[in-house]
Structure 1
């Protein structure tokens, strides 16, 4: 994994002499409680299915996603992770100009650059607590006739989140395609923030989700996109490989989207821990802590006595890794991000940061 996508535990283990399992990785925003037990048991109990081909139409998997996202089954596109779908969508609509809400995940700009798209950036700013006014955004889009708007919701790394009412206003008020990456939306209030229920009614909306973060399954490479635009949907589907989702990923997906106990428990614990971590981080000296709806929190070192890189290095002997955010466009060397882990791990982070900042 490159520096732009978090820590490489294998390299750090070799450098510092720790087992990679000893590290508390606050740079990786994956559900720390692991995958759904029901989904894992399904794989174990059906392991012999590795000897057969998956259903090429993935009917059961799409039914599960459809019920989970409250959208029509025919508007679901399956992909090998969210990044594949980002690339496929951008190549398909082939915009000549796009507006990228920044700071943002680096892959958006990378994929836009591949098609020689003109990229403008709409920066959320620390002086506004990284909040974005949707009316001002709409004016900017219409003034410049952008063909595509890319939004990560909640925004990584700032944690700012548009409500689905605001996204609907954007869809109604512009002629642009709107791509909403909801990689982290499930850690917050879906009813208020998720745009999946808008998909069936707006053909200029593409919602992307993956299962790596919330469902803690980066190893199965399962992502899905939601879109009702027939031309775009058919074009993307025509370029996907047959059986692009392996049988184990399909089996897990059929079960985990229905595992309400896992889903409800994850949301409750992560919400409680986010509230606690925000409260306690705000007590630490020389830190400005930004409110977040994601499973991560952005912090700024206000004293400038240490850089984020220096704090990161000081935490490694404590077997703690944080994300230095200097690689995010629009942020500087004094910003870092911490993800929410298990309660006892979060307490150790607070204790270690307090020691360093003193």
Structure 2
């Protein structure tokens, strides 16, 4: 059975999990301590507006506090954004994160897809402008894209943002994996944000807290932020999640250390996988998209290694897989498993 997402260790216990794109360095000590310390406050309701984190993030990003909205993970905010704005026609890229289309389907939006090509390593280029038809009300992009790991160039991002400004189109950019890129902030939409933009991000991946759900949206206008805040459940972010995020905002050195580590291990894994006859697509993220034999995921599972079978992504076949970058010893274990598989 093909899983809709990675990280399904509940059905496959005692496996080495390469299917979930979580920071291999683990949760920072300060974040762990903040979560534990917050438990004593859990007899109270959480702040529905996450005011302490909003204030801290506003100061760090030099971004208006009342235009920041927190949610129960980035996925929660995807649904809240779509339900708040209810576009009738939206454009997404394929392959891409499935929750974009699932959320749009909930509001009966007609989904248009821009297909990325393996021949160009799934890089988004200016051909996307051919799909900017008059009926499009929302464009959803991801940089680095999931599952390809490809960044959107700053020049293209700037031009898409300007097009959306001139044509009153909502631009939603998911930057949940951008912090894994060295100097990732230089690839953000933030310099080009305007009243029709929303930047989505998550604490889950970088700070290794997928069980503590918290993400945020930087909204280009008070109007969008207000609509988003009023959509979805009232107490969306738990007390432990808010405490974790507040502590994580101080972990700038940890994020830099992670990006450097990921770059080094990604280069190592790209070389090793390629040396074993596996096609590896260029990536800037903490995962690699590969193309190999159709039974590869099952073969790895027999060796207690879980990878992400990508055949349920639109635009990909049953020979595409996504592999997370893990600790070096784990990465070596995967390479050893591949050698055993290839040697019969």
**Partner residue, 1:277:** 269
Q: Secondary structure at the match of 1:293?
A: coil
Residues 199 and 217, structure 2, Cα contact 8 Å, conserved in 1: yes
Q: CA deviation at 1:145?
A: 4.1
Answer with 319-328 or 189-198: which moved more: 189-198
* Alpha-carbon displacement from aligned partner over 1:183-229 (angstroms, at most 9, x marks no partner): 21111132332223443xx1111111122111111111111111022
Is 1:218 paired with 2:210?
yes
Give, in angstroms, the shift of residue 232 of structure 1. 2.1
TM-score after normalising by structure 2 = 0.92
Answer whether contact 1:163 1:194 (CA < 8 A) is retained.
Answer: no
Q: 1:232 to 1:2 in 2, by over 3 A?
A: farther
In structure 2, distance between residues paired with 1:169 and 1:275: 31
Secondary structure (helix, strand or coil) at the match of 1:208 reads: strand
Q: Is the 8 A contact 1:64 1:255 kept in 2?
A: no
Q: Verify: 1:356 aligned to 2:338, yes or no.
A: no
1:91 alignment partner, one of 83, 88, 96: 83
Q: Deviations over 1:148-188 (max 9, x none)?
A: 11112111111111134422211112322111111211111
Task: State whether residues 7 and 27 of structure 1, in contact with CA within 8 Å, keep that contact through their aligned partners in structure 2.
Answer: yes
TM-score scaled by length of structure 1: 0.89
> Hey, what does 1:339 align to over in structure 2?
324
Q: Distance in 2 between matches of 1:177 and 1:56?
A: 25
Task: Select the residue among 185, 198, 217 that pairs with 2:178.
Answer: 185
Partner residue of 2:127? Answer: 136
1:5 aligns to what?
Answer: 5
Superposed structure 1 runs of 4+ greater than 6 Å apart:
none
Could you report, residue by residue, the CA deviation over 1:57-116 in whole angstroms, capped at 9, with x for unpaired residues? 422211232344442222101111111211111122221111111111111111111211
Question: How far apart, CA to CA, are the structure 2 residues paired with 1:62 and 1:230?
Answer: 14
**RMSD of the TM alignment (CA)?**
2.0
Aligned to 1:259: 251
Q: What secondary structure sits across from 2:176 in the alignment?
A: coil
Change beyond 3 A, Cα 1:69–1:282? farther
Change (3 A) 1:357 1:144: farther
User: 1:1-358 maps to which residues of 2 (within 5 A)?
Assistant: 3-12=3-12, 20=13, 22-133=14-125, 135-141=126-132, 143-174=133-164, 175=167, 176-188=169-181, 189-199=183-193, 202-285=194-277, 287-301=278-292, 306-307=293-294, 310-358=295-343
Structure 2 unmatched ranges of 5 or more: none
Equivalenced residues, count: 339
Gaps of at least 5 residues in structure 1 are 13-19
Q: Is the 8 A contact 1:71 1:196 kept in 2?
A: no
Report how far residue 240 of structure 1 moved.
4.3
Whole-angstrom distance in 2 between the partners of 1:76 and 1:212: 17
1:78 alignment partner, SS class: strand
Secondary structure at the residue paired with 2:24?
A: coil
Q: What is the distance in 1 between the residues matched to 2:273 and 2:2?
A: 28
Do the aligned partners of residues 69 and 280 (structure 1) sit closer, same or farther apart at CA in structure 2, a change above 3 Å counting?
A: farther
| Cα separation, partners in 2 of 1:138 and 1:69, compared to 1, 3 Å | farther
CA distance in 2, matches of 1:46, 1:238: 26
Distance in 2 between the 1:254 and 1:7 partners?
Answer: 25
Distance in 2, matches of 1:103 and 1:31, equals 23
The change in CA–CA distance for 1:57 and 1:331 in structure 2 (over 3 A counts) is: closer
**In 1, Cα distance between equivalents of 2:297 and 2:48:** 46
